[in-house]
Copies of this chain bind each other. A is one copy, B any other.
């Protein structure tokens, strides 16, 4: 699945509600999910990890939509040509 396709899917499912809540309120949900991912990483349960990684990606996508950002475009622009600092793959930054 393309990054853009996932962002569109999350928009179709949640954009109306999330944009009505607004950037600040939606950021609170995102931050809560980041906390849940942190807890799952600490615990190491694979099923919990799978769900929490999916949730953080979904909330990141909805935040990007509210902010008018195309996640795939910005991710490719920054990382497709290698490390943004040194340009190498693998990164050779000191």
Contact = CB atoms under 8 A, between A and B. Distances in A.
A93 to B, nearest CB: 9
Tell me the number of copies of this protein: 2
Q: How large is the interface on A (under 10, 10 to 19, 20 to 34, 35 or more residues)?
A: 35 or more
Contact of A67 (B49, B55, B60, B64): B49
A2 B75 CA distance: 11
A27 B41 contact: yes
Given A23-B41, A83-B13, A69 B90 contact: no
A64 to B, nearest CB: 5
Nearest to A17: B91
Interface of A: 1-3, 6, 9-10, 12-17, 23, 27, 31, 34, 37-38, 41, 46, 49-51, 53-58, 60, 63-64, 67-69, 71-80, 82-83, 88-91
5 closest residue pairs by CB, A with B: A54-B78, A50-B74, A54-B74, A54-B75, A13-B89
30 contacts: A1-B3, A1-B72, A1-B75, A1-B76, A3-B6, A3-B57, A9-B80, A12-B89, A13-B79, A13-B88, A13-B90, A14-B83, A27-B38, A31-B34, A37-B63, A46-B68, A50-B69, A50-B77, A50-B78, A51-B74, A53-B71, A54-B71, A54-B74, A56-B60, A57-B57, A57-B60, A57-B71, A57-B75, A58-B75, A60-B60
